[in-house]
Copies of this chain bind each other. A is one copy, B any other.
């Protein structure tokens, strides 16, 4: 397991996605593993934590999720801008060395038989909750988060610390046509305790 990575309590896992970052979706079935980018991912519940992700029928990752019932949602960083764009535009169907060509390095976490993308700021290991109608009609997949981890340099104590961390660790927010925004300045209501 990489340096700087610590587990995130499950009841705070939703916070890893709450700011609406573009994510990487990874999955493995048998000897095949793939990683794709997805802007259409969203928290769905607090406890147990669940999330939704839209996986187009044209992607190999979707097939692997359907076959294995497992996937990882991870939050890429500003330093991974090009990697994120590469895995979002290349397909494993066309390029069997997609991950190498995209600069993806995978690592393992004991007890979770899925591929994790190195260098991200957060990882959520998910188990598919099969909902065939949603998957067929809307390409909409629901996952229950089994475990979560984050890079302690930017998420610790249950909170993101983008304002004090290296700006290269900020999240990406994709729009279209290769155009992204980074997560920006912190804004606090200030009259409430941070819980």
Contact = CB atoms under 8 A, between A and B. Distances in A.
Copies of the polypeptide in the assembly: 2
Nearest to A82: B189
A184 B186 CA distance: 10
A174 B18 contact: yes
A43 to B, nearest CB: 5
A39 B20 CA distance: 8
A126 interface: no
A124 to B, nearest CB: 15
Given A45-B139, A81-B189, A176-B195, 9 more contacts: A18-B175, A20-B22, A20-B39, A40-B43, A41-B42, A45-B54, A82-B189, A160-B181, A162-B181
